[in-house]
Chain A
Amino acid sequence: MAELESPNVMPKLISFLSSLLKRVAESNDLNQQQLLHQKVSVFHGLTRPTISIQSYLERIFKYANCSPSCFIVAYVYLDRFTQRQPSLPINFFNVHRLLITSVMVAAKFMDDLYYNNAYYAKVGGITTIEMNFLEVDFLFGLGFHLNVTPGTFQAYCAHLQSEMLLMQPLNFADSSLSLGKSLKAHLCYNEDESSSHQKQQQLAV
């Protein structure tokens, strides 16, 4: 927790998550084969939003005021969602809506103090009615599988950390980022998913 809350960690994490999602969206948009089998969902915008993924995620981070852990958990949710909904890959037409919804659901599940859907709708630049539809679809898309064990949380932190170091060794090598360190004080529990999280294919391209 302390690691995630230190001032230089979250901006770097936000920046990295943005570039990761950008690469995923680019890859899926280029993949014509996949486009043929893609479903159009409530997350799919008619046009590609003009705001960049990074600016959008920074905006969410600035206004959501949720626990830093929520961004890791939102990332876990996006991964679960794409695995459960293979016909809805992340692309530039749906990534923004998926992002605002995943962070909102993570905050609602994780935090005792959080903003309501109307507030997140304003932050995300959509209507409250649309936000509510997105939330319900996202929850059913996840099969309401919202709990994240410490093992899973730590695995995703470690994965993000190694990806960050691989991607920008000069920028990140000095930051001694250990996202999972904050969990050392917490008890670890077995759960069905904790044994299988290594097998999960994660969002990184």
Chain B
Amino acid sequence: MEKTGVLSAKEAFEKLEKVGEGTYGKVYRAREKATGKIVALKKTRLHEDEEGVPPTTLREVSILRMLSRDPHVVRLMDVKQGQNKEGKTVLYLVFEYMDTDLKKFIRSFRQSGETIPPHIIKVILSICPSIFNIRFFFVHLFLSIWLQSLMYQLCKGVAFCHGHGILHRDLKPHNLLMDRKTMMLKIADLGLARAFTVPIKKYTHEILTLWYRAPEVLLGATHYSMAVDMWSVGCIFAELVTKQALFPGDSELQQLLHIFRLLGTPNEDVWPGVSKLMNWHEYPQWNPQSLSTAVPSLDELGLDLLSQMLKYEPSKRISAKKAMEHVYFDDLDKRHL
């Protein structure tokens, strides 16, 4: 963590291109002049008047200080303080550079049908050498190995966060960075993350992008657990298979109704305490559908894992650590992941 008097981006970094923009500033692909290393530079404006250091920045930096050593969490290399052209204080977060994210990756698959780029085939063969024994194999076989690999990496990264008492609270394809060449997946954007191990008054329910938001959060629970992240993992799993969001609601109510239509309207039998939650009302009554109707191309083991990730009762939802041990991942050579 470096505190320099003045750090203009010109001095330390050569900005190559803008790759994104968030609430508090821009993200650039940049080259570190001293080393020639390509990095992602997240420039955070400090609102001089009222807020100071945004809590998202404060949390992200401190949490990544702790989690960055895991291969499935994006690496924060440095934090520098400097000034912009107007003389206002700016923080630069220097991250390792990843060339895509899961959202873009899914979109590219959706556009190209089901063709698999040759470099992915190479990676898949290294992860699952047993494929060599199969004389004729189909695209879906490749896709299932690719899917298992990404899901295993995601569960591993989430398990690492949870093992250190950190809830991510904003898991979605856009926040999962990828290296196209190696198919390595890394969890990023921990601005909404928080430690869940020290008691506090209450959590906000203004977290998490709607489509990946757990039902307990939608129903107004003020204390929630690791299970909120596992719900998001389940939604991402389904989206990886179908290339479509599983529950694409455009309001909190619509989001709940999407969930209820597929999984059935919850009640005290399937989810004790649900009717006591703040936002609980009398909802239309739907019976649960088979998950295979929503994710038809997922095999039986995959459907079993998905169903455990999408359990209504948070305490019954599978943990990331347990998910890694699920038989769905038995074919993977986990040494490479």
Q: B50 contacts which chain A residues (CB < 8 A)? A: 116-118, 128
B200 touches A67 (CB 8 A): yes
Q: B163 contacts which chain A residues (CB < 8 A)? A: 189-190
Known pairs A118-B49, A132-B89; A1 contacts B58 (CB<8 A)? no
B58 touches A182 (CB 8 A): no
A117 to B65, CA, bound (A): 24
B52 touches A189 (CB 8 A): no
A110 to B55, CA, bound (A): 10
Determine if A172 is an interface residue (Cβ-Cβ < 8 Å): no
Which residues in chain A, 103-151, are within 8 Å of chain B measured between CB atoms? 105, 108-114, 116-118, 128-129, 131-132, 135-137, 139-140, 143-150
Q: A132 contacts which chain B residues (CB < 8 A)? A: 46, 48, 52-53, 89
Q: B48 contacts which chain A residues (CB < 8 A)? A: 128-129, 132
Q: A105 contacts which chain B residues (CB < 8 A)? A: 58
Known pairs A128-B50, A188-B197; A139 contacts B165 (CB<8 A)? no
Q: B165 contacts which chain A residues (CB < 8 A)? A: 147, 149-150, 187, 189, 191
How many residue pairs link A and B with beta carbons under 8 A? The number is: 122
Determine if B63 is an interface residue (Cβ-Cβ < 8 Å): yes
Closest Cβ neighbor of B162 among chain A residues: A189
Known pairs A110-B200, A140-B3, A150-B198; A135 contacts B53 (CB<8 A)? yes
Fill in one digit per residue for B193-228: 1 if any A CB lies within 8 Å of its CB, else 0: 011111111111011000000000000000000000
Determine if A153 is an interface residue (Cβ-Cβ < 8 Å): yes
A148 touches B195 (CB 8 A): yes
Determine if A94 is an interface residue (Cβ-Cβ < 8 Å): no
A108 to B61, CA, bound (A): 13
A136 touches B81 (CB 8 A): yes
B62 touches A186 (CB 8 A): no
B51 touches A145 (CB 8 A): no
Closest Cβ neighbor of B203 among chain A residues: A112
A66 to B91, CA, bound (A): 26
A192 to B267, CA, bound (A): 42
Additional A-B contacts beyond A147-B66, A148-B195 (19; CB < 8 A): A1-B200, A4-B199, A109-B58, A110-B194, A112-B206, A113-B202, A128-B50, A132-B89, A135-B53, A140-B1, A140-B3, A144-B65, A147-B62, A147-B164, A183-B197, A183-B199, A187-B165, A189-B197, A192-B66
| 9 residue pairs, one from A and one from B, having the closest CB atoms | A1-B199, A117-B52, A146-B62, A112-B204, A67-B200, A140-B3, A189-B165, A144-B61, A150-B197
| Chain A interfacial positions (CB closer than 8 Å to B) | 1, 4, 66-67, 69-70, 73, 105, 108-114, 116-118, 128-129, 131-132, 135-137, 139-140, 143-150, 153, 182-183, 186-192
Q: List 28 A-B contacts (CB under 8 A).
A: A1-B200, A66-B201, A69-B199, A70-B200, A108-B55, A109-B195, A110-B198, A112-B204, A116-B51, A117-B50, A118-B49, A136-B81, A139-B53, A139-B61, A143-B65, A144-B1, A144-B65, A144-B79, A145-B65, A146-B58, A146-B59, A146-B62, A147-B65, A149-B165, A149-B197, A150-B165, A150-B197, A191-B165
